[in-house]
């Protein structure tokens, strides 16, 4: 991406760090931070290595085109206080059980954008590390789950607004369903149940439910319009 200033890799794997010669060459500085504790919450630590206000948070198996990254960043520049990204999730009130529910179904609204592929301001790393109680961070680390939900709670509590979902490639859903170990984790009932529990614990900590539903998705101008593909700035998004 023409907007990329640096690449920071957080190495939280149990395997040893590969030698520098094994890393790919890049057109921008590449830094590798080896996590000392190998925890989920370390993903959102305010590392001094990060020099830009905008952070594009990516899971190790995220697949985005340059057009998708560029467009999402342009959107984030207009909404720098919000999470802007791709995989969306939602919450609902389960009145029969008097608790909040979590759903990953593709519907007409959403209230979370997962940080496996999303832009947000680096200030939220500071808030995540220094404002959220240590007991919640410990729980996230113990479960190895819910850190993305907790970040959404934090940002929505600050902004009182929903995140912003942007156009994603057509194969995203199919890709998620065929990603081996990652797919099996998302399909694991225990993993899903943990996320339900996390939502209720987080809302009790805040004393209210901060998540806000939205039906807005931002697409590039001329997206899917019946004009020549050559006239479209982010033409590769439609070709995927």
Residue 1 lies in a domain: no
Q: What is the pLDDT of residue 162?
A: 98
Residue 177 lies in a domain: yes
Residue 163 lies in a domain: yes
Q: For the chain, which residues score pLDDT lower than 70?
A: 36, 169-187, 222-240
Q: Which domain holds residue 72?
A: 7-239
Q: What is the pLDDT of residue 57?
A: 96
Q: What is the pLDDT of residue 180?
A: 46
Model confidence, pTM: 0.88
pLDDT in tens, 56-76: 999 988 888 888 899 999 999
Q: What is the pLDDT of residue 126?
A: 97
Instruction: Mark whether 148 is an active-site residue.
Output: yes
Neighbours of 75 (CB within 10 A): 20
Choice among 53, 109, 148, 188 that is catalytic? 148
Q: What is the pLDDT of residue 29?
A: 92
Instruction: Round to whole Å and give the CA distance between 76 and 2.
Output: 15
Residue 141 lies in a domain: yes
Domain tally, the chain:
1
Residue whose C-alpha is closest to residue 85's, from 157, 171, 172: 172
CATH number, domain at 160? 3.90.550.10
Q: What is the pLDDT of residue 13?
A: 84
Residue 210 lies in a domain: yes
Residue whose C-alpha is closest to residue 112's, from 85, 73, 94: 85
Residue 160 lies in a domain: yes
Question: Cα torsion at 115, 116, 122, 128 (round to 10°)?
Answer: 50
Residue 2 lies in a domain: no
Residue 195 lies in a domain: yes
């Amino acid at each position: 991406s023409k907007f990329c200033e640096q690449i920071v890799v957080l190495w939280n794997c149990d395997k040893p760090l590969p030698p520098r010669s094994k890393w790919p060459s890049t057109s921008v500085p590449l830094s590798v931070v080896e996590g000392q504790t190998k925890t989920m919450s370390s993903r959102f630590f305010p590392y001094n290595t990060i020099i830009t206000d905008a952070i594009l948070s990516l899971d190790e198996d995220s697949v985005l085109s340059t057009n998708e990254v560029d467009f999402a960043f342009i959107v984030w520049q207009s909404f720098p206080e919000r999470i802007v990204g791709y995989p969306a999730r939602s919450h609902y009130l389960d009145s029969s059980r008097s608790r909040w529910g979590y759903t990953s179904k593709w519907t007409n609204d959403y209230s979370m954008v997962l940080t496996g592929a999303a832009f947000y301001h680096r200030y939220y790393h500071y808030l995540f590390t220094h404002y959220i109680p240590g007991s919640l961070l410990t729980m996230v680390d113990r479960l190895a789950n819910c850190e993305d939900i907790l970040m959404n709670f934090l940002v929505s509590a600050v902004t009182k607004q929903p995140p912003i979902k942007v156009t994603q490639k057509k194969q995203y859903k199919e890709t998620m369903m065929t990603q081996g170990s990652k797919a099996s984790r998302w399909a694991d009932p225990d993993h899903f149940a943990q996320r339900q529990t996390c939502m209720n614990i987080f809302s009790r900590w805040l004393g209210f439910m901060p998540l806000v539903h939205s039906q807005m998705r931002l697409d590039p101008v001329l997206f899917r319009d019946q004009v020549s593909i050559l006239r479209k700035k982010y033409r590769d998004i439609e070709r995927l």
